[in-house]
Amino acid sequence: MIPGPIFASAGHGQEGESMAEPTTQQRTASNQAVSRPDIHITSLRLRVDAVDAIVLSPTGLTVSSAAARRADTAFPKLVSHVCVSGGHQRFGEEIIGTEPAHLVEHLAIELMVQTAAFDERERSKVAIPDRQLRADHTYTGHTSQVNRLPSDDPAFDPYQVSITYDNDLVAIRALRYACDIASWIMSADNDPNGPSANIPSFAGVLKELLRLYRS
Ligand SMILES: [Zn+2]
């Protein structure tokens, strides 16, 4: 499920090396040790101000502390997202033990925020601190478990993830990328190199989202 070509298209030296074709020995070790959960979207509904996605994740799967560390390493601002789930105030207080779909919600929002900020910084031609970015680069989200239909695969838990947007194309694509990134994050427990190993660059993801943002 990981969009290899997108991660690989980042094209920076260090990240490029991490995406290099593994040797036979590495591939064998990797295949034995790493299993990526299948977190994916089965349907999308576009509303005037928000998009709803039905996200499936393996039944009972929650975010481990190792996966949370990996998410924090890749997206340091994720933990400071406002999140009132479970009576908390920040996503950092909620991330360990939460459902993968909730992680997808916050990842999608983070991708949209970074895309809008990237666009604003590029157009302004000057460095803008985060706190001075336009207020409309604020998105809200909600995740809730939904009933499994009799025809649904019992191997997956269905959730509805809803996020607001200022660009519908970016929101939909961000949700799809967020599922792939969450799958990668959730594979961390089995990674023999530890949670901070082989963090890919997400420049390719942001580049594609920026292209949509400006289309
Ligand atoms: Zn939340």
The model's pLDDT over 54-98, given as tens digits with 9 standing for 90+, comes to 999 999 999 999 899 989 989 999 999 999 888 889 999 999 999
Each residue's pLDDT tens digit, 129-150: 666 666 567 899 999 999 988 8
Whole-number Å distance, alpha carbon 105 to ligand 1 midpoint, is 7
**Residue type at position 114:** Q
Centroid of ligand 1 to alpha carbon of 140 (angstroms): 9
Q: What is the pLDDT of residue 139?
A: 92
Give the distance (Å) from ligand 1 centre to CA of residue 91: 6
Sheet of 50-58, strands arranged across: 40-46, 50-58, 156-164, 141-145
For ligand 1, the distance from its centroid to the CA atom of residue 141, given in whole angstroms, is 7
**Is the pLDDT reported for residue 197 higher than 80?**
no
Residue 170, pLDDT above cutoff 80: yes
Please report the pLDDT score of residue 1 as a whole number: 39
pLDDT at position 36: 83
Task: List the Cα angle 136/138/139 in 5-degree steps.
Answer: 120
The alpha carbon of 61 is separated from its chain's Cα centroid by a whole number of angstroms, namely 16
Express as a percent the part of the chain with pLDDT over 90: 53
Alpha carbon of 200 to ligand 1 centroid (Å): 24
73 CA → ligand 1 middle, Å: 18
> Whose CA is closest to 43, among 194, 160, 149, 191?
160
- pTM score: 0.79
Whole-number Å distance, alpha carbon 193 to ligand 1 midpoint, is 29
How many angstroms is it from 190 CA to the middle of ligand 1?
A: 25
44 alpha carbon – ligand 1 mean position (Å): 19
Reference 179, options 84, 69, 65, 61; nearest CA is 61
Q: How far apart are the CA of 32 and the centre of ligand 1, in A? A: 33
**Per-residue pLDDT tens digits for 90-120:** 999 999 999 999 999 999 999 999 998 888 8
**Average pLDDT over the chain, rounded to an integer:** 79
Q: Could you give the C-alpha distances from 119 to 102, 114, 137, 170, in angstroms and in order?
A: 26, 8, 11, 13
Please give the distance, rounded to the nearest whole angstrom, from the Cα atom of residue 85 to the centre of ligand 1.
6
Q: Could you tell me the distance, in angstroms and rounded to a whole number, from the CA of residue 92 to the centre of ligand 1?
A: 9
Binned at pLDDT 50, 70 and 90, residue 194 comes out as low
- Per residue in 18-68, pLDDT (tens digit) is 333 333 333 333 444 457 889 999 999 999 999 999 999 999 999 999 899
- Give the type of residue at 94: E
pLDDT of residue 91: 96
Q: What integer pLDDT is reported at residue 154 of this predicted model?
A: 93
Mean pLDDT along residues 190-198: 53
